[in-house]
Amino acid sequence: MRLLIIGSLNGQIGAASRIAMQRGAKVLQADGISQAMEVMRSGQGADLVMCDVAYDINQLLEAMKAERIHLPVVACGVETDSRAAVAAIKAGAKEYVPLPPDAELIAAVLEAVAAEQDALIFQDPAMDRVIQMAKKVASSQASVLITGESGTGKELVARYLHRNSQRKDKAFVAVNCAAIPGELLESELFGHEKGAFTGAVARRIGKFEEANGGTLLLDEISEMDLKLQAKLLRAIQEREIVRVGSNGPVKVDTRIVATSNRNMEETVKAGKFREDLYFRLNVVKLTLPPLRDRPKDIEVLAGHFARASAEENGMPLRRVSPEAITVLKSHNWPGNVRELENTMHRAVLLSSGDQIGPDAFDFTGSGGLGTQASGAGLVGRTVADVERDLIIDTLKHTLGNRTHAAKILGISIRTLRNKLNAYVQDGMAVPAPGAGEVA
């Protein structure tokens, strides 16, 4: 949980922040609304905003709405200031927390927000069976291995295990083993001492220590280098780590949850993953079914993502039509829930009328069946031509808004602008930028 505090840390709201940190929250602080907006723009990240009612809550919410920053806001004030409490709730604050702060109330607010953000949404029996098993083992200390295709929700299930464990009041720390180069992953996990290697200008605490008492998620663990696997096995067995550049062991009490999108048994047989480490991690194994095998979840998730995307983009809520649901269920979903979320986001942006119909879906390039996925009309055309038409059509749908178009297309705004500049140089007409945007 990342908490942004707006107000002086010298007062009662400072006491609230200290309670939040004791409950595992990472706290950022701003002295006023303008500074808070700078923090939210900077990408430092926040899950919840806690604001002193000495500041104008309505102004804060309006400023966030204007920049489409969607974060829950909790107002804080002295217990006797009932007028300010009512005004804050009317302005749109989710809760009002009286000061001086009550530790259990602060904890309840943080837990409620975390549960809302990490909610598992499902109706299909195939997924229900996995969650029922997860519920049974969550309170144990056993390591858990979660497998399944990319985009099936492995990290959400890992967070579910943590929330329902005896460690829920401690930190949940995630490390993507596939995203960090092997030579840096050891330091990321175990930490390092100053001068341990070039660039180690100060001691750094690793993820094992950061997650001490809590849960450490080793995401895509099958991508870890074999040499590091040996050190990880020792850390799990001995419950201690050694920072890079140190000889002194550090005791840790960390529950391990690991994920992989590979067939781990085959990976072990191929000599790419240590068998002893696999058995150490595989005390309990949860295998998530792909979305194509969860037809009831497709409908409920489509509706959920449609609502969330409409709210995020300040657009009207549109019902997903029965015909659209039929098309969604016919798609193979190689990208699983992540692909469905992106598909619904595009559909919300491109739809008109009072509902989302099949014509709002574009599965081009994803191997699915939708309205444009059959390949009709594409034979004989170059990839560059098809890409150009897709980019131009998407820009027309977004009324020239480069930011929205880049998000729909799944490319960076810089890449989009480079392609558009190339089209202009070739003499093509390109839709003008949206209001307030740079060409």
165-209 pLDDT, tens digit per residue, is 999 888 888 898 988 887 789 988 998 888 888 777 777 788 899
Cα–Cα separations (whole angstroms), residue 168 to 160, 233, 283, 294 = 10, 24, 20, 29
Q: How far, in Å, CA of 190 to CA of 233, rounded?
A: 13
Residue 432 lies in a domain: no
Tokens of 412: 């960076």
Per-residue pLDDT band for 97 (boundaries 50, 70, 90) equals confident
d(CA 379, CA 404): 29
The alpha carbon dihedral of 55, 46, 207, 216 has a sign of: positive
Mean pLDDT, all residues of the chain: 85
Among 42-56, 103-117, 306-320, which stretch is predicted with the lowest mean pLDDT?
Answer: 103-117
Mean pLDDT of 330-348: 90
Count of structural domains within the chain: 3
Does this model's pTM top 0.85? no
Percentage with pLDDT > 90 across the chain: 41
Q: Read off the pLDDT of residues 259-288 as tens digits, 9 standing for 90 and up.
A: 999 999 999 999 999 999 999 999 999 999
Closest CA to 210 of 24, 342, 67: 24
Question: 60 with 153, same domain?
Answer: no
- Measured from the Cβ of residue 279, the count of other Cβ atoms closer than 10 Å reads 13
DSSP, collapsed to helix, strand or coil, labels residue 320 as strand
Q: Confirm whether 437 is domain-assigned.
A: no
Of 209 and 372, the structure prediction assigns the larger pLDDT to 209
Please check whether residue 265 lies inside any domain of the structure.
yes
Residues in the chain, overall count: 439
Residue finishing a domain among 100, 117, 134: 117
82 & 59 share domain: yes
Same domain membership, residue 142 and residue 251: yes
pLDDT of res. 356: 94
Domain C-terminal end among 117, 152, 179: 117
* CB neighbour list of residue 8: distance below 8 Å, 6 or more residues apart: 14, 31, 52
Q: So what's the pLDDT on residue 144?
A: 98
Lowest mean pLDDT across 65-74, 221-230, 332-341, 410-419: 65-74
Across the range 70-74, mean pLDDT stands at 83
Is pLDDT of 249 > 90? yes
Give the model confidence (pLDDT) of 20-42 as tens digits. 888 778 888 899 999 998 887 66
Q: Are 132 and 262 contained in the same domain?
A: yes
325 within 8 A of 367, measured Cβ to Cβ: no
Please indicate, yes or no, whether residues 184 and 205 belong to a single structural domain of this protein: yes
Select the highest-mean-pLDDT range: 124-128, 344-348, 417-421.
124-128
Regarding whether 199 and 92 lie in a shared domain, the answer is no
> Domain check: are 226 and 300 in the same one?
no
143 closest CA partner among 279, 287, 266: 279
The CATH number of the domain holding residue 362 is: 1.10.8.60
Contact 323, 358 (CB under 8 A): yes
Percentages (nearest 5) of helix, strand, coil residues in the chain? 45, 15, 40
Tokens read off for 313: 């983009």
Q: What's residue 380's pLDDT? A: 58
The one-letter amino acid code at 327 reads V
Span 202-228, average pLDDT: 90
Widest pairwise Cα distance in the chain? 74
Contact 51, 11 (CB under 8 A): no
Poorest-confidence range of 96-110, 265-279, 301-315, 362-376? Answer: 362-376
Q: Within this chain, do residues 276 and 296 fall inside the same structural domain, yes or no?
A: no
Task: Say if residue 333's pLDDT is above 70.
Answer: yes
C-alpha 250/C-alpha 340 separation (Å) is 43
Which stretch, 293-302, 386-395, 414-423, has highest mean pLDDT?
A: 293-302
Whether residue 228 is found in the same domain as residue 155? yes
Give the three-class secondary structure for 313: coil
42 lies in a domain?
A: yes
Q: Which pLDDT score is estimated for 46?
A: 72
Strands of the sheet containing 255-260, edge to edge, are: 172-176, 215-219, 255-260, 144-147, 284-287
Structural domain range at position 277: 125-287
Residue 410 structure tokens: 């799944």
The CATH number assigned to the domain holding 218 equals: 3.40.50.300
Checking if the pLDDT of 129 tops 50, the result is: yes
Residue 3 pLDDT more than 60? yes
**Residue 333 resides in a domain:** yes
Same domain for 318 and 380, yes or no, is yes
Q: Let me know if residue 263 belongs to a domain.
A: yes
* Residue 155 confidence class, pLDDT cut points 50, 70, 90: very high
Query: Residue 121 carries which side chain, given as an amino acid letter?
Result: I
- CA pair distance 145, 120, nearest whole angstrom: 18
Measured distance CA(439)–CA(38) in Å, rounded:
24
Q: Compute how many other C-beta atoms are within 10 angstroms of the C-beta atom of residue 353.
A: 10
Among 73, 83, 74, 77, residue whose Cα is nearest residue 99 = 77
Question: Is 177 among the domain residues?
Answer: yes
Residue 233 tokens read as 């096995």
Q: Quick one: tokens of 203?
A: 């001691």
- Across 90-104, 115-129, 275-289, 326-340, the highest mean pLDDT is recorded for 275-289
Residue 104 belongs to some domain of the structure: yes
* 203 and 309 within one domain: no
Q: Which of 75, 32, 36 is nearest to 53 (CA)?
A: 75
d(CA 402, CA 394): 9
Using alpha carbons, list the distances in angstroms from residue 141 to 8, 17, 121, 214, 397.
Answer: 40, 30, 25, 10, 51
- Which of the listed residues 287, 319, 353 is the one where a domain comes to its end? 287
The predicted-structure confidence for 229-246, as pLDDT tens digits, reads as follows: 999 999 999 999 999 999
Sign of CA dihedral 29, 35, 38, 40: positive
For the record, the structure tokens of 133 come out as 């098993």
Is the pLDDT at 374 greater than 60? The verdict is no
Closest by CA position to 366, among listed 388, 395, 391, 338:
338
Closest CA relative to residue 317, chosen from 361, 342, 359, 351? 351
- Specify whether the CB–CB gap between 392 and 427 falls below 8 A: no
Mean pLDDT of the 315-327 span: 92
CA 54/CA 77 separation, integer angstroms = 8
The whole-number pLDDT of residue 408 equals 78
Neighbour tally for 428: CB within 10 Å: 11
Q: How many C-beta atoms surround the C-beta of residue 424 within 10 A?
A: 12
Tell me the C-alpha distance between 393 and 257, whole Å: 43
Per DSSP, 192 falls in state B
Same domain, 16 and 98: yes
pLDDT of res. 368: 36
